[in-house]
Amino acid sequence: MTPTGAAGPEVPAGSGPVLPPLARTVLDRAAHRRTDPAWLAGAWQRGRVLVVDTAAGGRTLVTGDGVPPALRLLDPGQAPDAPPMFLGVGADGVPLFAVDAALPTVPGTRAASLREVGHLLDDRDAGLFITAVALANWHLRHGFSAATGEPTVPDEGGWSRVDPHGDRIWPRTDPAMIVLVHDGVPGPDGRCLLGNNATWPASPRGRRFSCLAGYVEPGESAEAAVAREVTEEVGLTVSGIRYAGSQPWPFPGSLMLGFLATADPAQPLRLDPAEIADARWFCRWQITEAVAGGAVDAGDGARLVLPPPLSIAHFLLERWLTDVEPGLGP
């Protein structure tokens, strides 16, 4: 490992990833079909079904022991008996559905979660899986009307729920921001700030650090939430807030809005202990080494563990490692 303060290996120039891993979809959602019960009934008979099991962490069946895996879709007659959720129509014209139920036994398949394989799937399968998990999690949390407490039932192909009086609710996602704070310095010695969340358990693998994040509050823009959350969590003032991309995060139902922003490392860190257990500046060469699987000191001899490839935090780090756009500096 290169000593602190010394120049590390050269970071290759590049444009970085274009889209976060869960922002990929090529599915025609065919939303106009959701209110056509007759069409949905016929589509179910000729469609294909993705089974997701929210009771088992949103796992589904995939084929292939290696890379890349692929979703295993079932014929309607093979699918468990559960309310269908209409996902859309494939490029081949086949209607695609999902059901939330225990996974059946299908030879040549294995169970996998979105966290495990989402970044490895092709664009169609990634879009199907993320939509199915997001919808299933929404239904799981909205079995009763928030206004009356009465039970609700699925409707419109799984895209709404209705109470006994006909009052309808639709799926919603919670907007949240996530930001990679950096010093704007190019080259291997440029630094970014990562935090260790107070709720993350200790791991024998090392100490996990990630970007700062938080929910967008009522009456607040995403950019204002970036500035507020960074100040609240680590006491820094940021500037140059720049939008980088977004992706759904159905754990259980967020939309993550990704940003980069600059801050002066000379500012003292003032951590909110309820949110952040530790925060540290890491050089670009250290993050490059950690992404490649190398051992990087995260303090007190612990190894730095970075966010998984599925996360938008990982996407932001990769963008920062390779970003050569004009104006990125302070």
CATH number at residue 266: 3.90.79.10
pLDDT confidence of residue 24: 84
DSSP letter (8 states) at residue 208: E
State the number of CA atoms in the 13 A half-sphere of 231 facing the CB.
Answer: 9
Mean pLDDT score, 288-293 = 92
Q: Measure the CA–CA gap between 195 and 183, rounded to whole angstroms.
A: 15
The 10s digit of each residue's pLDDT in 80-136 is 999 999 999 999 999 999 999 999 999 999 999 999 999 999 999 999 999 999 999
**Cβ atoms of residues 257 and 162 within 8 Å:** no
DSSP letter (8 states) at residue 131: H
Q: Does 270 score more than 70 pLDDT?
A: yes
Residue 158 lies in a domain: no
CA distances from 190 to 239, 264, 283, 322 (A): 16, 11, 5, 12
Residue 154 lies in a domain: no
The 10s digit of each residue's pLDDT in 169-204 is 999 999 999 999 999 999 999 999 999 999 988 777
- Residues linked to residue 196 through DSSP beta bridges, in sequence order: 278
Count how many domains the chain has. 2
The 10s digit of each residue's pLDDT in 40-69 is 999 999 999 999 999 999 999 999 776 789
Residues 298, 193, single domain; the answer is yes
| Averaged confidence pLDDT in the chain | 91
pLDDT confidence of residue 325: 43
Tell me if residue 320 falls in helix, strand or coil.
helix
- Residues linked to residue 283 through DSSP beta bridges, in sequence order: 191
CA distances from 52 to 98, 103, 114, 299, 315 (A): 7, 7, 10, 40, 26
**Cβ atoms of residues 41 and 320 within 8 Å:** no
Residue 201 lies in a domain: yes
Mean pLDDT score, 2-11 = 34
Q: How confident is the model at residue 16 (pLDDT cuts 50, 70, 90)?
A: low
Residue 12 lies in a domain: no
* Sequence-ordered list of residues with C-beta below 8 angstroms from that of 266, at least 6 positions apart, any chain: none
Residues 318, 191, single domain; the answer is yes
169, two tokens: 């609710």
Residue 327 lies in a domain: no
Q: Measure the CA–CA gap between 281 and 258, rounded to whole angstroms.
A: 19
pLDDT confidence of residue 68: 86
User: How far, rounded to the nearest angstrom, does the alpha carbon of residue 125 sit from its chain's CA centroid?
Assistant: 15
Residue 218 lies in a domain: yes
Q: Measure the CA–CA gap between 12 and 275, rounded to whole angstroms.
A: 34
**Domain span at residue 318?**
174-322
Residue 165 lies in a domain: no
**Cβ atoms of residues 20 and 312 within 8 Å:** yes
Residue 166 lies in a domain: no
pLDDT confidence of residue 2: 31
